[in-house]
Structure 1
Amino acid sequence: MLERHERQTEEPVMSTRPELQQLRFPGESAGYRSARAALLAEEMALRRQIESVAARRRALPPGGELKQDYRFVGADGPVHVSELFAPGKDTLAIYSFMYGPERKRPCPGCTHFLDGIDGQVRHIDQRLNFVVVAKRPLADLLAFAKERGWHGLHLLSTDGNSYDSDYFGDSSALSPQMRRQQDFKDGEEWDMPMLNVFHRSSDGVIRHTWGSEMLYVPSEPGQDYRHNDMLDPMWNLFDVMPEGRGDFQPRLSYA
């Protein structure tokens, strides 16, 4: 399926729509403009598809009720999930940060993602309750935040609760089939970069509404899982490069 799609996109269908051929960049050829107009038509179709998927996501039936009112630990002390909803904001997103007990240092992929989110939190906070949890003592999380220069992220320690196991922020509840798919070794457990969204109804009931489950479906050749790509400006920026994403992998530091 993927290979057939790649063959199709190698030879774009020419677009004759005049509104897609109005721009002209210096030195471009007629062939470039024709191919670019055809690509623009596909980009417009992708825009429609993105909104269509988002609409279907918003229209999902109510999910399961929150399994328990988990207790986390933050900079201001213990806090339960029910206390993470600020007045007037009934949606909560929880990102599971891969900085569990099996790691000496945090996941570089999670770290680059949170580097970007930290700069956006002052805007995100206007509409959404967003927190980052990790199976790590709070002191370690705060020390790493200071090292990275994070100032806005709301960091919480799971403090040994079962949230990550219950909502697939770690591998402990995966089926044997899923473990084989994810290439886990016997006896090996890992924390996982899962994003879960919860909504509080008018009667105070908290339900799970969505999770980044593409993390747990089979990847396609050269694409990894891309479960949080729609939220990640770095990968989307790389996608407009002629070179594409290449084999780049984020690091905690660069020479």
Structure 2
Amino acid sequence: MPANFPRMAFPNESPAYREARNALLDAEIALRRQTESVAEMRRNLPPGGEVPEDFEFERIGANHRPEKVRLSQLFGEFPSIMLYSFMFGPERDSPCPGCTHLLDGIDGSAEHVAQRAPFYVVSRSPIARLEALAHERGWDHLVMLSTAGNSYSDHYYGNTSALTPAMREHRGFKNGENWDEPMLNVFRKDGDTVSHFWGSELVFAPDEPGQNHRAMDFADPVWGLLDTIPEGRGATFFPKLSYA
């Protein structure tokens, strides 16, 4: 239980409000502790599986022209990298609004995050298409990578093709019908060996009643802010690509 400490009080609040708010604060403190406990468990994971190949991506280079780059080259001087699978494959006329609003928020953080570990956005669309969208959205700090021509998404759940038959049956997915998914994967490099460290498997875990998977809420300011208002997230609200 949280230790006793002096509590705040706002003008004209009732005793009933303060009692309820104090109880909520205790719960928030417990959640803060649980959040750190989960983060510690994540940091202490043993090494994951070595990547099956040194995947080749395409990006826009320093000369503003497309260039090939291997997974092992994405680390630079850092031991860890993050790759976010963006739902904007070549079969889509427009990007996923859920991924897009998330990346709108992450773009502002990416410059700071990159001081500790590189963050990349990967998608099966050609790099020119990805760069055009980044320019349209004003993403100045996100580094886009095209997975067109490689099997990265098939191995690391950037689409549903890697799901086992049991997973497909549990989720109600038909065989032969596949689509991209919003998967975040972390990789580590030790010498010449690149291994998987963590993936946002909560994407594919059963949803709570009345909720979506919420697998990336820890990095999503939209949902975090809406959780603070009486109306909450709303039963029908979902971010759009643009608003009137």
Which TM-score band (shorter chain)?
over 0.9
CA contact (8 A) 2:97 2:239 kept: yes
Identity %: 53
Letter in 1 for 2:142: L
- Number of aligned pairs? 238
The alpha-carbon distance between structure 1 residues 18 and 210, as it changes in their structure 2 partners (threshold 3 A), is closer
The alpha-carbon distance between structure 1 residues 181 and 249, as it changes in their structure 2 partners (threshold 3 A), is farther
- Gaps in structure 2 of 5+ consecutive residues: 62-66
- Gaps in structure 1 of 5+ consecutive residues: 1-14
Q: CA deviation at 1:17?
A: 6.5
Correspondence 1:84 to 2:70: no
TM superposition outliers: structure 1 runs of 4+ over 6 Å: none
Correspondence 1:109 to 2:94: no
Correspondence 1:204 to 2:192: yes
- Report what 1:135 is aligned to: 124
- Report what 1:10 is aligned to: none
Partner SS for 1:243: coil
- Report what 1:177 is aligned to: 166
Q: CA RMSD in A?
A: 1.5
Select which of 213, 218, 224 maps to 2:201: 213
Partner SS for 1:23: coil
CA distance in 1, matches of 2:84, 2:170: 23
Correspondence 1:231 to 2:231: no
The alpha-carbon distance between structure 1 residues 183 and 253, as it changes in their structure 2 partners (threshold 3 A), is farther
The alpha-carbon distance between structure 1 residues 191 and 16, as it changes in their structure 2 partners (threshold 3 A), is closer
Partner SS for 1:74: strand
Letter in 2 for 1:161: N
- Report what 1:74 is aligned to: 59
TM-score, normalized by length of structure 2?
0.93
- Report what 1:189 is aligned to: 178
Which digits, 9 at most, give the CA deviation of each residue in 1:53-75, with x for residues without a partner? 11011111110011110000000
- Report what 2:42 is aligned to: 57
